[in-house]
Structure 1
């Protein structure tokens, strides 16, 4: 990079070949709040809403470990009508549940607190989120918005832009919820293939950051399985055991519904040299990455 050139963290990450497997943050519950005006850098926390309502939503989300994201339709700026909200849940049984509502007044968002205490409806199609939070990180807008646009042209009812989801340097980031699957390093072409395959229950390893229902070493282990045996659906692999030894893990995985094969995957963690990891952060920092050392029959 020449002196004075603008820094883009996703360009730098791609040039370094940054590993992104095992980088999906843990979550099973998401709160989506449609907000068509500008998003502050800190998302929902920065909105000018009734303090009591905001505190209620934050408290209810914290109690259920839910992640709160702002959303909007790509390229659409409706001038009237109410906005929507949703609670999406990937429960412990693997069931995928959703509950939707609308809001006009701040007080209407109090419904979210109740929705977080109820299971929700099964059988609805997933939601495809594309991080496009440019105020938080420039790469999310530069790389995310073109991806959101092309995906929304194909699946207009499923696709939303969303606020910060983590891993700015892996933009464009796409998250499918309540499935709980993170994809990174996408562009307009690859995103169409990834989402089409995901909707057909074929999750590939190539752009997979991880599953939000698993911990990072487990995410890396499942990605290794997909590398070896090809794409699979959400329930085609089950973690049946994880043993840690310092910075190494042995993850035992069963192939569900196929040959029932059990494999042991050894994963090791290491820190990278310090680098500038976001567009906004001027300080260099080290990243923790998870590398698969071996895959063997269990």
Structure 2
């Protein structure tokens, strides 16, 4: 099966489960400074995983598809597995906060299309 992961530079916008049919519309969206599809969007490679999860969540709640609609303002760890993350709106300067906690699923997750062993995957709960 083909399930490519892709990084668009220089912004470091990451996508997963990209198909050959996604290629041209994804390129067009990136050239227009837009996120292609939120169901493919994985965050920005310059951000750590908690900020990527918070960025995705904020975009799903606000439908902010512009690459520069908001910027990461602060990542504040409040416990070993909890964070409070703030983004600044590019137009208004308003701050949007997202609190999240990392957890481990008990459902096996395949780390590769080739390797058979599964591992326990981490996810973030908002």
Bin for the TM-score computed over the shorter chain = 0.7 to 0.9
Larger RCO: 1 or 2 (CA < 8 Å, sep 6+):
1
- 1:183 aligned onto 2:15: yes
Match runs of 1:74-153 below 5 Å: 139=1, 143=2
| Distance apart, 1:219 and its partner CA | 0.8
Match runs of 1:155-166 below 5 Å: none
| Distance apart, 1:271 and its partner CA | 1.3
The 3 A distance-change label for structure 1 pair 191 and 229 is farther
Q: Which runs of 4+ in 1 moved over 4 A?
A: none
Q: In structure 1, how many angstroms separate the alpha carbons of the residues matched to 2:116 and 2:54? A: 33
What's 1:281 paired with?
115
- Aligned residue for 2:119, secondary structure, equals coil
Match runs of 1:253-272 below 5 Å: 253-256=87-90, 258-272=91-105
Please say if residues 226 and 232 of structure 1, whose CA atoms lie closer than 8 Å, have aligned partners that are also in contact.
Answer: no
Structure 1 residue ranges without an equivalent (≥5): 1-138, 144-170, 294-298
Q: In structure 2, how many angstroms separate the alpha carbons of the residues matched to 1:275 and 1:197? A: 30
Q: In structure 1, how many angstroms separate the alpha carbons of the residues matched to 2:73 and 2:55? A: 12
Q: Say how many residue pairs are matched.
A: 122
Structure 2 residue ranges without an equivalent (≥5): none
| Distance apart, 1:185 and its partner CA | 1.3
Q: In structure 2, how many angstroms separate the alpha carbons of the residues matched to 1:217 and 1:210? A: 10
- Aligned residue for 1:272, secondary structure, equals strand
| Structure of larger gyration radius | 1
Greater per-residue helix proportion: 1
* TM-score under structure 2 length normalisation: 0.83
- 1:207 aligned onto 2:40: yes
Q: In structure 2, how many angstroms separate the alpha carbons of the residues matched to 1:221 and 1:276? A: 23
* TM-score under structure 1 length normalisation: 0.38
